[in-house]
Amino acid sequence: MCGITGVYAFNMVGRISMINVANATASLAKRGPDFQDIYNDQTVALGHRRLSIIDTSDNGNQPMFDSSGRYGIIFNGEIYNYAALRQELISQGVAFRSKTDTEVLLQLYIREGKSCLDKLNGFFSFAIYDRDERSLFIARDRIGIKPLYYMQDGDRLLFASEIKSLLAYGIDKTIDYSSLYTYLQLNYIPAPGTIFQKVKKLLPGHYIEIQPEQINVDSYYTIPYDRDNYTRAPYEEQCKKLESLLEEAVQKRLVADVPLGSFLSGGIDSSVIATLAKRHKPDLHTFSIGYRDEKFFDETDYARSVAKKIGSEHTVFSLTNRDLYEKVGDILEYMDEPFADSSAIAVYILSEETRKHATVALSGDGADELFAGYNKHAAFRKIIEGGGATHAVRLFQPLWSILPKSRNNALTNKFRQLHRFGKGMKLSSTERYWQWAGYANENEATRLLSQPSREALDYEHYDQLKKQLLHHIPAKESINDLLYTDTQLVLADDMLTKVDRMSMANSLEVRVPFLDHELVEYAFQLSDNSKINGEIRKRILQDTFRNVLPTELYNRPKKGFEVPILKWFREEMSWMIKNDLLADEFIKDQGIFDVKETRQLKRKLFSSNPGDVHARIWGLIVFQSWWKKTIG
């Protein structure tokens, strides 16, 4: 795992940016603490920060050039099938100078060009420079596990693993109000947009080809999906194939020349990954965090039960509310774009503590999006099937509106879910998906913006992006349609962004076996019924591993990887909310938000019926913190 950045200059003006490549590279230090180097000529500047995982010798340092000096690479990620590809290249007469997957990728590209992408199994963003042709090729992995940002104008193209690296080049920091509008609804910004008008995210499965007179951005991969063509294999055979594919994916991800462990939250997903990893790594070390002051959020008993069952060495990081709160400043400081999934706090701390014991960790991310693990999936299923329970929720909607709602305990959280479900039932399939994906609807987001911000918002651009994101959801819903959209939106732009940023902030590489592209493709060959059946979510995953996991995992309510931020807001962070980031005077002077609306949100936060307002408040806190350090 590493950090990459670079400049392609189209003229003398563009070359001026090259003087900043050292600072741009240094800004990625946490992504790669082991080594830094840069390369530049009259056309290109390349910077690399290395986190040594495979072949930790100096032979793996980058930028790396082939023996002819013509081709050079900077690479962030891992190629899991590099050993097989290496043997294939050796049989063709290639002589290697290192044992790295980086050199394998470079040599494969030299021989096969962009077609090499079809052979890669892994996660990556990389750039390869051809000095003779003065061409640059940049690519991102199929699913979007590793990030890549870029900015282009008539003088240059800049790219980097993180936006903070682009900022080091002195880019235009004009806010994209369409992105801000979306952020106020979802708490993150979907690709290809970013908070800046001029900066874009390279979409998963895409590449950029740059020639002296031409730039081409194109797709090389989309997840194959045919909603009318599912596997007809018996269910038992489906389970066997899933286990085989997942075990193979885990086994591939155990290769490392540094200590490797596994996250273990106590949920099904991470438990399955840890169980399979233990089969092939007898000395597996597992890690989890618990909340000493908030038992409703604590799942460490389940994690200990799994660790005992599989025989892993297990470490629990038990935290108080004060421990969590003291990390908020570090997390806000690391954010170079507004991103307000509050579970990022837990991932940050888990990564920080795990890094004291390991350099690589396996994670269970991706299973919910592939196999229908969220509450919203069960809710969609109920709407599709209809029936008495659905009718009752609709009938009692006025009651859900007045009952106390929050995430602080099981009862009020259930009221919150029923209220959210009832409101969504009235909407079209696409609008229902959009509302359940976020925390505010369009009207609420509009009211939160000041009049000048509304006037700066390009509603047509926003509508086009939303339509593009939701085009897989037809009027007649299926669960797989929702899951396919989840992989493009929630997975790529929320979950994977969260894991990458928070793990890389602590120089920890996180690998996600569920997102092996062969497993992802198989998941979309399975029918809705294989994934969700009545109240059973992730049915095939649960059934496949039922005999190897503790029974108590199957009788517990699903919880996200959450932190108790509502209590913080009312206690430790109340001063910050009232007198700093959301203070009326700051809101007025800044001019982005409507002060009457922010006052209303603060009143609701400190009321007896906060609902989901904590998520909106956290979104504002993250944005305000980002704005003060980046714009203000």
User: Quick one: angle between helices 459-469 and 177-186, nearest 10?
Assistant: 50
Separation of alpha carbons 476 and 375, rounded Å: 20
Structure tokens at 565: 């931020």
Structure tokens at 342: 């509050």
Specify whether 239 is catalytic: no
- Per annotation, catalytic residue among 2, 28, 361, 587: 2
Separation of alpha carbons 378 and 387, rounded Å: 14
DSSP three-state, residue 262: strand
Separation of alpha carbons 512 and 487, rounded Å: 14
DSSP per residue, 111-166: HHGGGGGGG--EEEEEEEEETTTTEEEEEE-SS--S--EEEE-SSEEEEESSHHHH
Do 202 and 149 meet the contact criterion of CB atoms below 8 Å apart?
yes
Separation of alpha carbons 139 and 238, rounded Å: 33
Separation of alpha carbons 182 and 467, rounded Å: 13
Calculate the CA 469 to chain-centre distance.
16
The alpha carbon torsion through 316, 568, 629, 25 (nearest 10 deg) reads: 10
Residue 125: name the closest of 3, 20, 23, 26 by CA.
3
Do 342 and 569 meet the contact criterion of CB atoms below 8 Å apart?
no
Calculate the CA 586 to chain-centre distance.
31
Cα-Cα-Cα-Cα dihedral sign, residues 551, 555, 561, 562: negative
Separation of alpha carbons 495 and 619, rounded Å: 16
Give the H/E segment covering residue 71. Answer: strand 71-79
Phi then psi dihedrals of residue 593, to 5 deg: -110, 160
Separation of alpha carbons 542 and 341, rounded Å: 26
Do 331 and 345 meet the contact criterion of CB atoms below 8 Å apart?
yes
Separation of alpha carbons 366 and 495, rounded Å: 8
- Whose tokens are 């890389």? That residue is 504
Residues in contact with 56: Cβ distance below 8 Å, sequence separation at least 6, in sequence order? 34, 257, 258
- Whose tokens are 């509050």? That residue is 342
Amino acid at 157: L
Q: In what order do the strands lie in the sheet with 2-9?
A: 35-40, 44-50, 2-9, 156-160, 149-152, 199-201
Separation of alpha carbons 278 and 251, rounded Å: 10
Residue 108: name the closest of 121, 122, 98, 94 by CA.
94
Angle ∠(28,29,32) on CA atoms, nearest 5: 95
**Cα-only R_g, the chain:** 24
Give the H/E segment covering residue 200. Answer: strand 199-201
Catalytic residue IDs: 2
